[in-house]
Amino acid sequence: MIKAKALKGIAGVEKGPKRSVLYSLIDHSLPLAPDEEKTYREIIQENPMFQEAKMLQSIEEVGIEKGMEKGIDIGVEKTVMQFLRAQVLSKEQIAHITGMNMEDIEKLGNKLKEK
């Protein structure tokens, strides 16, 4: 498995930013088929030598999750703004449909009035 061997090869590099960048580069530049990715992740989880790669994987996953959440929030905000501009639904209906609380809808409504 070339990806695991590449990670093992840089294990001798001094811990720090350079090694972290190398791990990240290898992890992102060598795509694997789903079954290979599963095997690779199992190897990383089992071998303490790859602890830094595990940390980077966790950090990346948290970053992706936060990015997705932020993107959803932005999408909901844009949708609320469109509803408010269209003036076809009450603020209560917008809150019910989007799940946004009334206080935030009021703030967005005030933003529209300022423009």
pTM of the complete model: 0.51
Cα distance between residue 84 and residue 36, in whole Å: 48
- CA separation, residue 43 to residues 9, 17, 21, 50, 99 (Å): 15, 23, 20, 8, 41
Chain segment 29-78, per-residue pLDDT in tens: 777 788 877 877 776 676 666 666 666 667 777 788 889 999 999 999 99
Residue 114, pLDDT > 80, answer: yes
